[in-house]
């Protein structure tokens, strides 16, 4: 059965989880905070939703220090100090937690795990982000902390289907969006990366370990203007610790690289700081489009 990629207007798909409502009813929340604005925006959203006690685990030289002022309890750890993370949440009786923001990829090669992290790593047959963070979630569960989807409190920022901001793409650009979506989904299925840059039916760049921004800087100029960025989720992606994100930095990087259209998977991509993203898209004349598989 053939599939087509829908770029027209439709109803927004929302990631749901039976634990999300319970989390929002709780006044106490743990936040494992990586780099960037994502953890900060999530902290503000959680506070606005009624979270009165916020326990933040930050990482040295990664996490935005503004979170210290938003936290009720705060600790900063070295990447790999799993035992201290677990003790911190257990000590503050944190029953619900969210992981938000990335860790600089290169730091995963400079990992200095504590004893608990070493024991965890020894049990893994494959050591990648998915298996490591999945194992961390299991360890959190053992101390009574449930790891929630990273979209919790930010559901309204999930991308809808169809044009979101900027100029509406023409037919040729829509064809490239559909092409890029198919290629990106296949790369994601193979666990290579989740973003591609394309132009006129040609793949200019595929994301791998370097991340989306570095891939855009590499692939965008090859199109000499008019290239398209497409970003998707992985099949069966665990949204507790890995959510595709389009933020202001994505748009700025795309603009500098000569990319004029960004396609993202609807209902499974966060528009980080949504109003700012939309405004910046208009200013830079970058189209943002929500994409989704539909079957013929």
2: Cβ–Cβ under 8 A, 6 or more apart, which residues? 295, 296
Model's pTM, two decimal places?
0.83
As a whole number of angstroms, the distance between CA 112 and CA 100 comes to 21
- Per-chain mean pLDDT for the chain: 88
pLDDT (0 to 100) of residue 294: 65
pLDDT tens figures, 70-90: 999 999 998 889 999 999 999
DSSP 155: G
pLDDT tens figures, 89-121: 999 999 999 999 987 655 555 567 888 888 888
pLDDT tens figures, 244-279: 999 999 999 999 999 999 999 999 999 999 999 999
In the predicted model, is pLDDT for residue 24 greater than 70?
no
pLDDT (0 to 100) of residue 83: 93
Select from 3.40.140.80, 3.40.50.1950, 3.40.630.30, 3.30.1020.10 the CATH code of 3-9+156-295: 3.40.140.80
pLDDT (0 to 100) of residue 162: 97
Q: How confident is the model at residue 209 (pLDDT cuts 50, 70, 90)?
A: confident
pLDDT (0 to 100) of residue 122: 87
| Tokens of residue 281, six digits | 């898209």
pLDDT tens figures, 131-149: 888 889 999 999 999 999 9
Report how far apart, in Å, the C-alpha atoms of 124 and of each of 28, 98, 127 are. Answer: 31, 23, 6
| Tokens of residue 232, six digits | 């998707």
63: Cβ–Cβ under 8 A, 6 or more apart, which residues? 33, 34, 35, 39, 56, 76, 101
Whose CA is closest to 62, among 106, 17, 114? Answer: 106
Where are the domains positioned within the chain?
Answer: 3-9+156-295, 20-148
Domain spanning 20-148, CATH class? alpha beta
């Amino acid at each position: 059965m053939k599939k087509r990629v829908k770029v027209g207007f439709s109803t927004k798909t929302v990631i749901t989880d039976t634990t999300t409502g319970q989390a929002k009813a709780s006044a106490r929340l743990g936040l494992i905070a990586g780099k960037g604005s994502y953890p900060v925006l999530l902290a503000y959203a959680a506070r606005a939703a009624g979270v009165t006690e916020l326990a933040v685990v930050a990482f040295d030289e990664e996490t935005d220090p503004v979170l210290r002022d938003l936290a009720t309890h705060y600790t900063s750890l070295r990447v790999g100090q799993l035992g201290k993370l677990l003790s911190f949440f257990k000590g503050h009786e944190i029953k619900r937690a969210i992981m938000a923001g990335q860790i600089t990829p290169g730091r995963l090669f400079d990992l200095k795990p504590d004893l608990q992290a070493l024991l965890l790593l020894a049990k893994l047959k494959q050591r990648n982000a998915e298996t490591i963070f999945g194992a961390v979630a299991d360890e959190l569960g053992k101390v009574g902390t449930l790891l929630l989807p990273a979209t919790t409190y930010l559901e309204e920022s999930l991308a809808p289907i169809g044009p979101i901001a900027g100029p509406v793409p023409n037919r040729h650009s829509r064809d490239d969006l559909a092409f890029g979506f198919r290629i990106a989904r296949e790369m994601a299925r193979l666990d290579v990366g989740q973003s591609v840059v394309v132009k006129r039916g040609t793949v200019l760049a595929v994301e791998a370990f370097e991340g989306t921004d570095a891939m855009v800087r590499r692939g965008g100029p090859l199109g000499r203007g008019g290239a398209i960025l497409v970003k998707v989720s992985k099949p069966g992606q665990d949204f507790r610790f890995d959510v595709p994100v389009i933020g202001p930095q994505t748009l700025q990087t795309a603009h500098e690289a000569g990319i004029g259209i960004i396609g993202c998977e609807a209902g499974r991509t966060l528009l980080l700081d949504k109003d700012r993203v939309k405004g910046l898209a208009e200013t830079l004349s970058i189209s943002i489009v929500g994409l989704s598989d539909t079957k013929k």
